Chains A and B, each alone.
Chain A
Amino acid sequence: MSSRFRPAVRALLGLVAAAALVGACDRELRDFGSSAPEAGPTIQTTSLTPGPGGQVPPDPRGEIYEKSAAHVSEGGRLFRWYNCNGCHSNGGGGMGPALIDDEWRYGSSIEQIYGTIAEGRPNGMPSFRGKATDEQIWELAAYVRSLGGFTPQASSSRNDEIRSTPPRNQVTPPKPSAEGGASVQGTAP
């Protein structure tokens, strides 16, 4: 159509879109990434002891990613693509620890999981910084959170594959642990 009318039409559609976004539900949010790469959060490197390695500041991006069903689903795709299943099966664990239980030796907050994936951990968890993009690591962290049962609202019930976990949208979220300090959940602080 003529470029003369395009701004007007775009403005009108923009108005409608803006009205739409006002009430948009976080769960249904889909954004396809920006052009500029985001800088990663500053995560302390681990001292060679188990545990999350000190205080991890909450990152606002974490909540966006784990509340969006699209990001959690993409995280699931990446979980298969990057062969997390090779050690973690479908969350059941194997060579790597299970992700569907309530034991989180490096912390269960999304920032801590981000750190685990980006930095790697002793005894075999590889570091994916530089290999997976920042957004992908957030998506993976969000998916791992859903495996842990923390995000039933944003999770799908199953994937189109052989059944391996109970429906991820039917779990009761575990009680939140003391972030940035507890080493193993499930034990009384």
Chain B
Amino acid sequence: MSEVKEIPAVWIGGGTCGGCSVSVLNTVAPSIKNILIDEVVPGRHISLKFHMNISGGSGDPVIRAIEDTGKQHKGGFVLIVEGVVPTAEGGVFCAVGEKDEKPIPFYQWVVDLGKKAMAVIALGTCSSFGGIPGARPNLTGVKSVMDIFKAEKITTPLINIPGCPPHPDWFVGTVARILIAGLPTPEDLDDLLRPKDFYGLLIHENCQRRSYFDEGKFAKRFGDPGCLYELGCKGPITYADCPIRQWNNGVNWCIKAGMGCQGCTQPEFPDFLGSFYEKLTDVDVPKIGAYWKGRED
């Protein structure tokens, strides 16, 4: 039997609802069991040193496990950050464990482990862009990992996997890419550090209801056929492959289920310019198709 290479990983959570973790549990092939137990690709196993919802232990032993990973595997482990990083008032709004009877701010973990990691994955819109906790009035001074890395001049490769939550394939696919082909190059990522493989096209470009838009057939109430643009769909400004990939093993996705896209992979989420249920304002939506010729309002 050939030797299995262990890739250490640490998954830390800050200001999070846990939804990104739960979404990753929904991965189909590989399954979450494959990811935790088996070789995720032949000869490579991810050794998840810490995860808040899965770890067997509690208390000091798991805190030591995180610290030891940083020391023993410097430059060789993947750091996964879920949730926002509160920065107001010294980061007191969220801390992980204690040292010398003092709490360790989550901010500190992100900086310390971020410097030591081989690569950092900001998983979810919270750690990528601020997300829901960063919505106005942002009382806790929430920042994204990207902003903290800029401020602290941390140059560790960073990949954003936004989504509220992200699709499990976006995360698993990114990890698989790192294991099989190495870290993504700058050309593989968009200007918001999202892998183009998953975030390269607008929802609007591949939408199942696109033909309704082109024909100008707009749903006026929920449950009706038609494009959901006038019911608040954010698909025209949102980058993600949901229409092709679909969700939960491909059974459904937001627009198929009759609700507009909520724009959850975007830095504008959730504030945008208005309600989730109101038509986009001040957005230049491409008007394609014969119906629109001469009919633009």
Are chains A and B native binding partners rather than an unrelated pairing? no
Task: Show the binding face of B for A, using Cβ within 8 Å.
Answer: none
